[in-house]
Structure 1
């Protein structure tokens, strides 16, 4: 009964026919082309459904009606992957060399062993943090299973049963009613005003009517006599025969697309990997060079190796991975407060580098609640206030349109469902067609009690809406007679009208009146409104023919409705424009609807946007698509499929763009997973979309994307800040070692143990505090950074050399000043010489103090630290104070003196070091002032 492709089943008669259909070798028409009676024969079932024993046999043959569970690796695999990251490898190598140095030392220094263990501890901590974030994010428990309803109603041997959805088999007869979720792909064999919402598969938000009639060969999702797994019945009732279950459904096809789409690495992942390679290569190369340089001096191999190890450790920022992870985690918490739930840490920064946002329409830009905004009658518009399904608002000058709204309300099958939450945290919803829900709400705003109206005029007959007539008609008994209530497309209704009623007064529908109605309809449609015409007719009996009920009508007026944009979206779109982000609407809706919404929220501002349909995309090769996306025009993609959406995302990425994609339906999952940053809707989105995405918007609003982009950019800025902070002191550690080597001093000015103490003890907390810096005021007024831009850009490297060079000159000068002032020849120095112990203590303390002021300097790129406030980041001051206190402990406490080979410093030493430590801050303030003056000069601003 099931095929491996996506076409519906074909007939073949019994099991043999089924087998032939499955293999695709039988050239027979598909079930959608068959008459109702032939469908049962083709699918080897009956109107009474399958017998219980045959259902059991088919369940064994075809398997459960469920999607394959996504293969999840054993827990140890992602944990192990944390240790194979190149930065982790660099730290592991550093730890291994430290262990080796401990083994080669004579006598062995327990402090070296302790710090080797500490480096390993940092590796483990980094791995645990990264694993916990990724594992908890990916543990969205069986999202696709939750997406498919757990029970369904079927006929088995003529008996109605409620069964687990996983037990459905091909040939089962399913009973459908408004509010049901469809559990498998089915051919409709009986339809009573049946309508479904295919948005999870197609992205089109409007309800689509279903029919039991045969249709000509069309793509499966366009077959009006089929319903599909993962969609919802919004109106009417019916029966359908299952022809595909589990992975062979249309939903299963999209699932396979999503599973096959590779998860893209974020720009930061690529940058960190590149940085780790460079740092590792530089550290090993310079360490090896220093080892070779020391050997000819007559020093033995072990001390030379320990010396080279010190150089290598000086170049490895041991605290960087933990700092990076925690900084990203801070960004995650900040975004959560802005209704954006981040599933992957690195996705935080990816948002900040986004250059293109491919956004869907319904629910993200709009409120997903159809709302009547205008009623037109008597040649006059009657604006309607209020949005959504709550009856809050009013109709302007309601008296002339009360009859129109009464007739429209009677001609509805939908019903409003009040919120279940008495506290009002939930919104009202519509059970049935959302267009009809909007009519019910506007009637309530006009003060009509539709329940009383329905009781006074009970319905006796109905002619359901269909796409051919584009009308719906209901017949009601009222007083001594009967009345037909009609609503539908203005063109179709107007063609059947012969009279018009304005403000209770009737008359002939003249050509002049007809032209006025057409003009009003066109005017409403040009505003992006969906327009319905409403009419009525008096009847003699309760059972008129359809032609009789829908001819000779009296026109009452027009109703214009829309899915209103979210009020906060316009400002968010404007912010993204200022930030240089291109916004492309990608929707399954009609081009006119998409363009109207895009204009309302500011995505489209020009008179001639580029509107491209899925059919046009099909006709393009990759070169033509690349050329299309390269055009600077405002772009709208309408009537697109999941394959179209993913193809467009891939094409943008091929052009070097960093692409964020929003979506809520199962049809969006492939593109969400393939994008640089997939953004799913939390309130209205499907579980499969949330599973595929990197970020979930808890409030479904595009405005949360803009806020998240701002925070993402701040994260990247902060990463650069603590990169400058961390790497600048590496220069201060390396330069004294190199200077001592070339000056012929036999010992190192700072040992590997001291370097690790700085990296792990004094620098990590200030770097974390820098990672918590709030976004700078102009962060959304800058263009997005290029995907090819490196973390170590020329500006970053220049600032590292600038600040690090000042530190290096100061601590190198302090070391040789103290060594020279002792009057002891270089060759007479040993590790136990007090002057040497004091000198290396001053080097370590000088780096710690200068880093304290360095942290204040790197908080801003151009703004003076005085403008943001010296005390505005108390965590940074506390972290810097902790580092200074730790340095004091290393200087004065005998147990730590023994580990680090340090000596106590007096007040004069600290005063000198404090004075020198302020030089990086003073110099950087001068640099920022010069940059500001130059920028003002270019803008013509007087000094």
Structure 2
């Protein structure tokens, strides 16, 4: 096979690969070409490329690497924290307050204190946000890490070891078992070669490779091609490189991953809407008050600062910090449940998940093939034990010993005993590993059997034959062959059957019994293999001789056992109204069998759709498929299929969680609302693209995380009700004083900031740490477009805030009127005024203590839930009251806040108003519960 004369192909290969589809133009036809034509198409030869030609092609194609991820500069990430709408409003407020201080004559120290306090709040929130959100995007680096650093290449007819980055199309690569494939290549020599394509296709079994031409089709299905990022797990071969870097199949996934935008979580969207509305209300209210007070003859600067204080009162300054820390509490809780969340907002998004697109192997199953039934001598032989640990028993083991001996010999897997923290594991094909485990359960030692009857020839598995055969030398110098494969293929080549250790003629009736037994095992969702044996004449007989005239030894039935906890988790998802869609690269029958075992499929006719069938659907057809409520299984899918399905579900308004473990899953993981990667078995690529990593790889951990996410959302609503209800109590007295003609404010901006940061943040955090309620998974997921401030939430805010507002207005005007001093004679230094504004501040703090207890539950009485159920909340409330006492009694703080000491009687009045609030909320909850118990009544 000499190299052809240089021609047009050389010029095309010297140019960069076309970026449109990421593949070399000759790729689609390479699999169908003969080996000489492959060399001709790539302008190469069996001796490889000359060094000069390789250097020229390197200039055209560039290095065989994937570009690194772009990272934003740290200072830009920090500045981004100040672009939040609350931060912008507060920054502008601080700047204007500084300006008012500078323009004031004389300058009022209280104005400077207010400006500094607002600026301090902004800096505090930015620091917390930056610390929580700082995480590097390393998906592209992880993809690059999977590319081997060196490889063996033929250059100038000599074998050389070169950096993988120096490969170019036309290079001839030498591959051996255990090598990582450095680029996309077409095989030109293959000796018993098999590759693990799981990182690209999701298929869990090694796939045999050949060097000859195969029919045209998708590149990933071409059995004579190997791809970057995969591994050669058996055999040897030589291959010609046809695509490098981003032009490879792996590079295609890289581009998909890079192009997939991070989706904003529902909470992000709702908080953004809330921020705009709150900011708008705050600005409008401040402007109205300014417009009302200026015509009354109030000093311009003082009136402006007053209006600014009202605006600050309406902005929940502590909300960003409270939200971040509350989400962090959820992250810690999930970590204790074996779910590592990398982005805080993903915690809440989990709670709104409506669809989970889950893969199969390792997530729903244990990723450990297990033989559970054998059939020999016309009878079944159950096998106990699960997984790769050789612990269990084979019923009537002597009757299946020859079957298991032949099955163990006809394979290349190796069973590895535990070492350190590792458990029993298999190197090689999981199916062959399961047969080794079954053999050991039957009392056989596969290594000893191999030593007694060494292998002298092998005929690898071929999808055309659906068989694998090995030839062994017996102790007496004779030779015999062991064959395993698809039951119908093996049975068609048998003319005898082993019964009671002796071979007898295989009758038509016995054939029917074997076929019925195989069908029965397959009907149970088992992967069925038939095993046969025969004597052969020589060391390497023709394949036709090896695989004919066989004696059937029996059948083996195995499956990848579901994780024991998954069925309960699937049931919980059903109760919670979460749809589960299995998305796998495996065969439809295997997928359906597993889906039935774990409860994803319960009906008689699930919708089973392959990747090829998805390709035939337009967007409208796909939407119609996903809109149906039938149980849906997507099988034999590629990365584009998975991403397309996720996008279509999101288009329908679903909040989508996607699980995955391979590099092929990375685009969908990044594009999903919640990408969930496997921590134990997943690739670095998948873990970096995802926002959540399951440390135990179990689907049950997803369900637990969803429940915790729902609990976090409920807790967020609780502390939002808590925070915004006191904003009403701060605003209403100011409005009341304005329209009543009182010249001063009932509460100053500095006092408001003290309440927001000193007395409210800790109780809000404690509310964010409320434990998960038992019924959290008994209701459907909330709609994607549901507002954070729903009608029910706003109703509670107005109800609780209104009660607080009435209370503080009452104590303020009662104290003012009791003094007998006309409104116009009050000044900031008046002791009565200082006592009155102190009572307003203390009234808000005390009522918020009772309010925090009230909002712990939505419907249940707080006394039934237990007043001591959240000790952190009680401690936080006591801290706030203690801080208020210090502001009232400590002279330095009195000077800052313009406050005065309160009497014991005044504290008692404030406590009575707080208890009244709690009692009113208990009455409301009682009415909600009563209405919910009525036939047709709505639950509150």
TM-score normalised by L of structure 2: 0.96
Per-residue Cα deviation, 1:619-675 (whole angstroms, up to 9, x for no partner):
211112111111111111111111111111111111111111111112211211111
CA–CA distance in structure 2, aligned partners of residues 531 and 755 of structure 1: 73
CA–CA distance in structure 2, aligned partners of residues 100 and 271 of structure 1: 33
1:498 matched residue in structure 2: 495
2:425 matched residue in structure 1: 429
CA–CA distance in structure 1, aligned partners of residues 209 and 678 of structure 2: 28
CA–CA distance in structure 2, aligned partners of residues 540 and 797 of structure 1: 88
Q: Describe the shift of the 1:136–1:21 C-alpha distance in structure 2 as closer, same or farther (beyond 3 A).
A: closer
Matches within 5 A, 1:813-828: 813-828=810-825
> Which SS does the other structure have where 1:391 is aligned?
coil
> Is 1:461–1:543's contact at 8 Å kept on the other side of the alignment?
yes
2:885 matched residue in structure 1: 888
CA–CA distance in structure 1, aligned partners of residues 862 and 391 of structure 2: 50
Pairwise CA distance, 1:44: 3.4
Indicate yes or no: 2:715 matched with 1:718: yes
2:76 matched residue in structure 1: 77
> Which SS does the other structure have where 1:660 is aligned?
strand
For 1:588, which of 568, 585, 588 is the aligned residue?
Answer: 585
> Which SS does the other structure have where 1:30 is aligned?
helix
2:902 matched residue in structure 1: 905
> Is 1:758–1:844's contact at 8 Å kept on the other side of the alignment?
yes
CA–CA distance in structure 1, aligned partners of residues 936 and 789 of structure 2: 28
For 2:647, which of 650, 661, 673 is the aligned residue?
Answer: 650
> Is 1:203–1:587's contact at 8 Å kept on the other side of the alignment?
yes
CA–CA distance in structure 2, aligned partners of residues 414 and 154 of structure 1: 28
2:459 matched residue in structure 1: 463
CA–CA distance in structure 1, aligned partners of residues 61 and 585 of structure 2: 33
Q: Describe the shift of the 1:122–1:152 C-alpha distance in structure 2 as closer, same or farther (beyond 3 A).
A: farther
> Is 1:178–1:432's contact at 8 Å kept on the other side of the alignment?
no
2:683 matched residue in structure 1: 686
Pairwise CA distance, 1:155: 3.4
1:189 matched residue in structure 2: 188
CA–CA distance in structure 1, aligned partners of residues 162 and 559 of structure 2: 39
> Is 2:373–2:557's contact at 8 Å kept on the other side of the alignment?
yes
For 2:508, which of 508, 511, 518 is the aligned residue?
Answer: 511
> Is 1:228–1:250's contact at 8 Å kept on the other side of the alignment?
yes
Q: Describe the shift of the 1:216–1:19 C-alpha distance in structure 2 as closer, same or farther (beyond 3 A).
A: farther
Question: Aligned residues, how many?
Answer: 929
1:121 matched residue in structure 2: 120
With 560-569 and 481-490 compared, the bigger mean Cα shift is at 560-569
Per-residue Cα deviation, 1:190-240 (whole angstroms, up to 9, x for no partner):
112111121211122222110000122211111110000111222222221
CA–CA distance in structure 2, aligned partners of residues 25 and 406 of structure 1: 47
Indicate yes or no: 2:269 matched with 1:270: yes
> Is 1:110–1:899's contact at 8 Å kept on the other side of the alignment?
no
Q: Describe the shift of the 1:163–1:366 C-alpha distance in structure 2 as closer, same or farther (beyond 3 A).
A: farther
CA–CA distance in structure 1, aligned partners of residues 908 and 439 of structure 2: 81
1:601 matched residue in structure 2: 598
CA–CA distance in structure 2, aligned partners of residues 859 and 548 of structure 1: 78
Any stretches of 5+ residues in structure 1 without a counterpart?
Answer: 1-9
CA–CA distance in structure 2, aligned partners of residues 586 and 401 of structure 1: 37
CA–CA distance in structure 1, aligned partners of residues 12 and 851 of structure 2: 79
Matches within 5 A, 1:215-230: 215-230=214-229
Any stretches of 5+ residues in structure 2 without a counterpart?
Answer: none
> Is 1:122–1:322's contact at 8 Å kept on the other side of the alignment?
no
Per-residue Cα deviation, 1:427-480 (whole angstroms, up to 9, x for no partner):
333322221111112112222111111111111222221111111111111133
CA–CA distance in structure 2, aligned partners of residues 779 and 911 of structure 1: 38
Pairwise CA distance, 1:164: 3.0
2:251 matched residue in structure 1: 252
Q: Describe the shift of the 1:647–1:141 C-alpha distance in structure 2 as closer, same or farther (beyond 3 A).
A: closer
> Is 1:179–1:431's contact at 8 Å kept on the other side of the alignment?
no
Indicate yes or no: 2:445 matched with 1:446: no
Per-residue Cα deviation, 1:584-615 (whole angstroms, up to 9, x for no partner):
01111111111111111111111111111112
CA–CA distance in structure 2, aligned partners of residues 713 and 920 of structure 1: 28
Pairwise CA distance, 1:823: 0.8
Per-residue Cα deviation, 1:540-591 (whole angstroms, up to 9, x for no partner):
3323221111111110111111122111111111111111100001111111
For 2:760, which of 750, 759, 763 is the aligned residue?
Answer: 763
Per-residue Cα deviation, 1:489-546 (whole angstroms, up to 9, x for no partner):
1010000011111332432211111111111111111122111100001223323221
Per-residue Cα deviation, 1:671-726 (whole angstroms, up to 9, x for no partner):
11111111111222122222221111122111111111011111111110110000
> Which SS does the other structure have where 1:67 is aligned?
coil
With 430-439 and 564-573 compared, the bigger mean Cα shift is at 430-439
For 1:674, which of 671, 676, 685 is the aligned residue?
Answer: 671
> Is 2:353–2:655's contact at 8 Å kept on the other side of the alignment?
yes
CA–CA distance in structure 1, aligned partners of residues 410 and 66 of structure 2: 40
Q: Describe the shift of the 1:181–1:594 C-alpha distance in structure 2 as closer, same or farther (beyond 3 A).
A: same
2:743 matched residue in structure 1: 746
Per-residue Cα deviation, 1:71-123 (whole angstroms, up to 9, x for no partner):
22222222222211222212323333433443355543434433433332332
> Is 1:13–1:44's contact at 8 Å kept on the other side of the alignment?
no
For 1:793, which of 790, 795, 798 is the aligned residue?
Answer: 790
Indicate yes or no: 2:309 matched with 1:310: yes
> Which SS does the other structure have where 1:938 is aligned?
coil
CA–CA distance in structure 1, aligned partners of residues 118 and 832 of structure 2: 30
CA–CA distance in structure 2, aligned partners of residues 255 and 383 of structure 1: 46
Pairwise CA distance, 1:68: 1.0
Indicate yes or no: 2:404 matched with 1:405: yes
2:37 matched residue in structure 1: 38
Indicate yes or no: 2:352 matched with 1:353: yes
> Which SS does the other structure have where 1:242 is aligned?
strand
Q: Describe the shift of the 1:184–1:497 C-alpha distance in structure 2 as closer, same or farther (beyond 3 A).
A: same
> Is 1:390–1:428's contact at 8 Å kept on the other side of the alignment?
yes
Pairwise CA distance, 1:288: 0.4
Matches within 5 A, 1:797-876: 797-876=794-873
> Is 2:111–2:305's contact at 8 Å kept on the other side of the alignment?
no
Pairwise CA distance, 1:167: 2.7
Per-residue Cα deviation, 1:855-897 (whole angstroms, up to 9, x for no partner):
1111111122222221221211111111111111111111111
TM-score normalised by L of structure 1: 0.95
CA–CA distance in structure 2, aligned partners of residues 802 and 20 of structure 1: 72
Q: Describe the shift of the 1:50–1:388 C-alpha distance in structure 2 as closer, same or farther (beyond 3 A).
A: farther
CA–CA distance in structure 2, aligned partners of residues 309 and 233 of structure 1: 69
1:6 matched residue in structure 2: none
CA–CA distance in structure 1, aligned partners of residues 527 and 716 of structure 2: 48
With 140-149 and 356-365 compared, the bigger mean Cα shift is at 140-149
Q: Describe the shift of the 1:105–1:574 C-alpha distance in structure 2 as closer, same or farther (beyond 3 A).
A: farther
1:59 matched residue in structure 2: 58
For 1:537, which of 517, 534, 537 is the aligned residue?
Answer: 534
> Is 1:11–1:30's contact at 8 Å kept on the other side of the alignment?
no
> Is 1:235–1:433's contact at 8 Å kept on the other side of the alignment?
no
CA–CA distance in structure 2, aligned partners of residues 49 and 393 of structure 1: 53
Pairwise CA distance, 1:296: 2.2
